[in-house]
Structure formats: C-alpha cells, structure tokens
A and B are shown apart, each in its own frame.
Chain A
Amino acid sequence: MTTKTLLLAALATTLMAGTAMATDIKIGVLNDRSGVYADLSGEGSVIAARMAVEDFDAANKDINVEIVSADHQNKPDVASNIARQWYDQDGVDIIVDVPTSSAALAVSEVTREKDKVFINSGAGSTALTGDQCSPNTIHWTYDTYALAKGTGGAMVAQGDTNWFFITADYAFGHSLEEETTKVVEAAGGEVMGTARHPFPGTDFSSYLLQAQSSGADVIGLANAGGDTVNAIKQAAEFGITQAGQNLAGLLIFITDVHALGLQAAQGLVLTESFYWDLNDQTREWSERFAAENGGKMPTMVHAGVYSGVMHYLKAVEATGGKDTAELMSAMKDTPTDDPLFGQGEVRADGRKIHDMYLFQVKTPEESSGPWDYYNLLATIPAAEAFRPMEEGGCALVTQ
C-alpha cells in the first residue's frame, strides 16, 4: 500500500514537473501546394516535418509539437500575409520550407520583424544569406550559388568549357546565369552566348537552334520549373544531345526528371544536395517517406525540411525553451549531423553547409525502374560548395 502511494506520488510529481516544463512548439510549413513547386515541396514537406518530430521523439522529451500548413501559391504577398497572420494570431514559432525566392525573401522579412525563426529549404536565392540576410533565417538545402558551383565548376573540370545559356528573362534567371558564368570563367571556361526567353516560355526551339549554331559544348538552362522541363523536352526533339552538346539544368529537381521521363532527360547534368539512393541511411529514410507520400520519393527540399526541423527541435531541447536569440545561437553553434545530409554546420550568415553532388541522369537502359534516375558524377565538399561568407555581403558577418 505504501509503496503504491509512493509510486503514485512519484509519478504525479514527474507528470507535474513534466507539464510545467513542457514546451509547446508550433511549426508552420508554408509552401506551394497547388502550383509548379507543389510536387517538390507541398504535402511532402509536411510529411517530412512530421517524420522529424516523430524521429526526434518529441513527445517523450516534453516538447509538444503541432504542425500547421498553408499554400502560398508562390506569391510573395500571399506568403507574407500568411506568415504575418501565423506569427501574430496563431502562435506559430517557426516557419519552414517556403520555395520560390520572392516568397522566401518576404517571409524572411516578416520573421525578422516578428523575431521568430525561419528555416528555408525550398528557395534558391542567395540573397537570403547575402545582402538580405537576417539573424532569424537559416537557409538549409541549397542555393543558386551552390547549384552554379556544382554544375558549372564540375562540368568545366570535365572538359565542357564552352557554354551557351538559355536564360529566363527575370531576376532569378539572370542571377543564375551570372553566378554560373562566374564559376565557368573562373574555372577557365568561356561563355559563347546567351538567349533570354520571356517567362514563362513554351517554345524553346528558337533558342535551342541559336545554341546549336553557337558551337558550345554545354547548353546551360538558367530557368526553372515548367520552362526547364519544356526546354529539355524540345532539346531531345531537336536532337541536341545526340549531336554532341551537353545539357545542364541549373535548377532541376528529381520530380522534374520524373515528369520528363528518362527518354527526354537522359544525359542531363544537374546538382542536388540529396538523392534518396545515396547510402543506406538515405534509402531507409526515403523508403519510409515514400510509403507515406504515395510512393513518391523525396526531393532534396523534403530532406531539408526534415533535417532542419530536427536541428531546430534539438536546439529547443538544449535551450529548454523557445527564446529566439538563444535558439538561433544554439543552432549556429552546434554542428549538424543527420542521416540525410551528413555532417555540416550553420554559418553565422544563416547558410547551412554540407556536401553537394553532381549527378547525371541515367539512360532508360541503365535505370532499374521508377525513381532510379541518377549516376553520381562528383561530390563537391561542403567547404567549397557554398559561397564564402565574406563574399555574400551579409551584415551579420561583418559585425
């Protein structure tokens, strides 16, 4: 009897202590759920965040996590509106994902204003950790510099020195072209010409023909989403790759390759920070992910959401609360190590660095089935993959 009471009392105190210390965290997954990036982010990112919470075992660590999600339709105004409302009204502590650079920059601004945390996985703009960097923002998965560095640098190293760019004529396309040009020229390559197409474009044959007559080794596609997919499809039709030119997608995801089919996408060279079939750990995680995501394998954006949420929860556990400044410094001070990205760190400017990989898309004969798409060409070590901090012009660094 006494033992039982004692036990009960002990249980009660633990429970009470537990409730007193429990931290409530609300994670907002804000991304594209209906547009061009719905497949590479969308519901998959919510699944990834949920998996992170489960794998972290938050429930047994006195952290109550709730996940909310919304569609920003790739519009900066919608994104900033939702972010504002989440922070002001719904008690959201951290926003993750947010593809589309314009939307990401908008959310970064709101997050700074409201002093919360923003871990970006889906967007590519280097401005997030450059001149528009924020003490509240971490840029997790990739950025245009890393893509340019991977695809541009590694291809020139392989002997593809002469480039022709087909560029989407807006800020994103320009910056992708500009960054790749720098990398190509630094590696001893040359840019033979560029054609800027209106955005969005449907017919690329004219530009492909110009690229063909330029005699370049590589045609760099400085565009995204549907534009890239169309350009690749039409390149296959005009026999560009068969004629000996290489096609380099500067921003392309595994979901794009999936949509294109290997027949059209074969031989394409691209850079990603994650591929499900890299090693046993990525395979194990990806199989679990696919089981929940209707059989569709994760993109690097999904992986980044998982890894970012995990790192955040670790910081919550370590600091025992959700003071933004403490959390941010904890996240920047602790090196990251997770099954998906391996070892890395979050730099002072908010850039998360890890290895990047240069892949080539398999031919239909090489592939063993759906989602078996990439051959690994090269690994770009974390230290070289991303833009050096001092070049970014981030105010947090110069301080």
Chain B
Amino acid sequence: MAVDAPATLPNSAAKVGAPRHHTLVFFALLLIMLVAPFVLYPVFLMKVMCFALFASALNLLLGFGGLLSFGHAAYFGIAAYVSAYTAKVWGLPPELAILLGTAAAAVLGLLIGALAIRRQGIYFAMVTLAFAQMVYFFSLQAPFTGGEDGIQAVPRGRLFGFIDLANDLTFYFVVLAIVTGGMLAIYRIIHSPFGQVLKAIRDNEPRSTSLGYKVDRYKLAVFVMSATLAGLAGAIKALVFQLASLTDVHWTMSGEVVLMTLLGGMGTIFGPLVGAAVIIGMQNYFASFGAWVTVLQGMIFVISVLLFREGIVGVISRWIKKPL
C-alpha cells in the first residue's frame, strides 16, 4: 500500500505540472521512512508522522490559504477522542474508528469554520483560538472523554480483521501508508485548480472576489479539508498511543503545530514534515530538561519569526532555487 500510493504520483503530478524534483524528494523520504523503524524507535517515528500530517494540514490552511488558525488542536483532539471512544467502548475495528474520528473533525471544522471565516487576519486567529478553548472545556467536562484521565488503554485492534496492530512495526507501516496518503491528498489539493484559486485569495482577496470567485466558499472548503486532515492525524495518534487526552485539545497543542509549520517553512510542501520532526525530536530527547523545553520552543518561535521566516525548508529551497 505504501509503495502503491506514490506510484500514481508522477501521473497526477504531471497533469498539474508539479516539478519533477518533488517526486524525487517524496521517494527519498519514503525510502528513509521504510528503513527508519529498524534504526529508530518505531513509536517515536509514528508520533513524528502523526504530527507531520497534522502540521501539513495546518500548513494547507496557513501556508496556502493564508489563514492562521490558532485552534487546530480542537480537530486533532476531537478526532482522537472519537476514535479512541469508538475503538474502546463500541469495539469498532481501527479502520472504522479512524474514519469516524476524522469525520467528527470534519463536522466540527464545518461548524467552527463557518463562523470563523467571517473575520480575517488576527481576528480569525483569535476566534479559532477561542472556539478551540470551548472544545477544550467540552472535552474536560463531557462524560465520554474521561475528563483529565482521558480515554486510556484504547485497543489498537486488527485492521480489516486480520492485520494485528498490537505489533509496533506492523502498525508503523500502516501509519506510514495512511500518512503518505494524507500527504499526497494535500499535495493534490495544493496543485489543483482549487489550490490555485486559494493562493490567489491568499495573495489578494478583493481581487479574487472581483474575478467572481466566491471567496468565502473557498475559505470554508479549505478550512474543512484542513480540519479533516488534522483529525486524521489525531485519530491515528489516539490508536498509536492507545490514549486520547486533554493534551490533544489544549491550546498549547495548537501553538506547537503552528511552531512546527513556521519552523519547517510555511507554504512549502515538505516544511511541516521537517518542523514536526525537529520539534518532536527535541521534546523527546530533551525531555529531562523540564521547563527548559518550553523556553527553547519559545526561543525557536522568536528566532523563526525574527530571522528565519522562510523556515528550514524555505531556506533550502532558496539555496537550490527550487520550490519545495
């Protein structure tokens, strides 16, 4: 599955004229990820992949739609809760649990998005943040979320009834397949005519309106897509860690994913992947430094904004003079 998916890429990419080197990078990344679990700890890698997808989903909205959502944890978290709950309490198989979690995020994205797109810029950021805070309080108090204990000991189950996901390595390749699929979907969206209109709106909204595009519909559509993909990431994460908790819906999570996108490079394809890997790796390996990790994250934020607005991948892309 993991191998099939990218095989279709050259065709679809060629149609919209995506540069050839993207295909190369995709394959290189995939190759690395196929070997990686034999070198690094698979659970850690799965976490990186979940956040890479999450950050890419945010990037779809921020980097290509020009809308900064400071409340994306809401979709990530709600999907985590729904997939954990359905897998544990209803005993659904993992594929259905993930699907339902993702769907929940999509619905939530539609509700919040419809309100949030009424404002722009900073207001949009604050509104999404405030709504995410509502979702947080809901998660804290709703009977099915288990309050601050979260939903624990979620069974990973058997995919399609015969692939046992309890094995970390097996699950790793399933996650790799899903995340690859998600990434390709994002890539496809960005390079479709829809994506072109989005970029036009991002760059000059009044002009796009005057050209006859229903700007609000485009914005809502990309908002819902982004929420859905963030939900997909959250749903997988819940099964990987067998846990859905308040951390997933807290606003610091929203901040973290913005940081990943910013650090990796907003509006680049591969930036969020790099950003996620750096931040998650940092959290993982510097865990013993306690609050210094927060300080370090804050400093990275400040430095990225002041000196490094293109992000890591943005800088590389400038060096090699090719969009990444």
Contacts and interface: CB of A to CB of B under 8 A. Distances in A.
Interface of A: 33-34, 38, 69-71, 75-78, 80-82, 84-85, 88-89, 101-102, 105-106, 109, 125, 127, 132, 169-172, 174, 198-199
B212 interface: no
Given A34-B290, A82-B287, A102 B141 contact: no
Given A71-B290, A105-B149, A171-B149, A77 B140 contact: no
A198 B242 CA distance: 27
Contact of A71 (B43, B47, B241, B288): B288
A69 B290 CA distance: 11
A77 B152 contact: no
Given A84-B43, A171-B146, A172-B147, A76 B243 contact: yes
Contacts of A171: 146-149
Contact of A80 (B141, B243, B289, B291): B243
Contacts of A33: 288, 290-291
Contact of A199 (B41, B140, B287): B140
A88 B247 contact: no
Contacts of A85: 41, 43-44, 284
B31 interface: no
A75 B140 CA distance: 14
A85 B40 CA distance: 11
Interface residues of B, number: 27
A331 B60 CA distance: 55
Contacts of A75: 245, 247
Interface of B: 41, 43-44, 47, 137, 140-141, 146-150, 152-153, 241-243, 245, 247-248, 284, 287-291, 294
Contacts of B43: 81, 84-85, 88
A169 B241 contact: no
A171 to B, nearest CB: 3
A207 B291 CA distance: 33
Nearest to A170: B147
Contacts of A71: 287-290
B143 to A, nearest CB: 10
A127 B149 CA distance: 11
Contacts of B243: 76-77, 80, 106
Contacts of A80: 241-243
Contacts of A169: 140-141
B140 A81 contact: no
Contacts of B41: 85, 88-89
B152 A76 contact: yes
Contacts of B290: 33-34, 38, 71
A76 B245 CA distance: 7
In the complex, which of the residues B146, B147, B248, B289 has the most CB atoms of chain A within 10 Å of its own CB atom? B147
Contacts of B141: 169-170
A169 to B, nearest CB: 6
A70 B150 contact: no
A198 B243 CA distance: 23
Contact of A170 (B148, B242, B248): B148
In the complex, which of the residues A70, A76, A88 has the most CB atoms of chain B within 10 Å of its own CB atom? A76
A76 B146 CA distance: 12
A107 to B, nearest CB: 10
A89 B42 CA distance: 11
B140 A70 contact: no
Contacts of B153: 109, 132
B308 to A, nearest CB: 27
In the complex, which of the residues B150, B243, B248 has the most CB atoms of chain A within 10 Å of its own CB atom? B243
Given A170-B147, A171-B148, A102 B242 contact: no
Nearest to B250: A75
A196 B288 CA distance: 35
B45 to A, nearest CB: 12
16 contacts: A34-B291, A38-B290, A70-B287, A71-B288, A75-B245, A76-B247, A77-B241, A81-B241, A85-B41, A85-B284, A106-B150, A109-B152, A109-B153, A109-B242, A125-B149, A171-B147
Contacts of B147: 170-172, 174
Given A71-B287, A89-B41, A78 B247 contact: yes
B281 to A, nearest CB: 13
Contacts of A82: 287
Nearest to A75: B247
Given A88-B41, A106-B243, A199-B140, A77 B248 contact: yes
A101 B245 contact: no
Contact of B148 (A38, A69, A81, A102): A102
Contacts of B288: 33, 69-71
A77 B248 CA distance: 9
A36 to B, nearest CB: 12
Contacts of A34: 290-291, 294
A84 B284 CA distance: 12
A76 B149 contact: yes
Given A33-B290, A34-B290, A102 B150 contact: yes
Contacts of A77: 150, 241, 243, 245, 247-248
In order of increasing CB-CB distance, the 8 nearest A-B pairs are A171-B147, A34-B291, A34-B290, A170-B147, A33-B290, A102-B149, A71-B290, A75-B247
Contacts of A102: 148-150, 152, 245
Given A76-B243, A106-B243, 12 more contacts: A33-B290, A34-B291, A38-B290, A70-B287, A71-B288, A71-B289, A77-B247, A102-B152, A105-B149, A169-B140, A171-B149, A172-B149
Nearest to B241: A77
A101 B44 contact: no
A70 B152 CA distance: 21
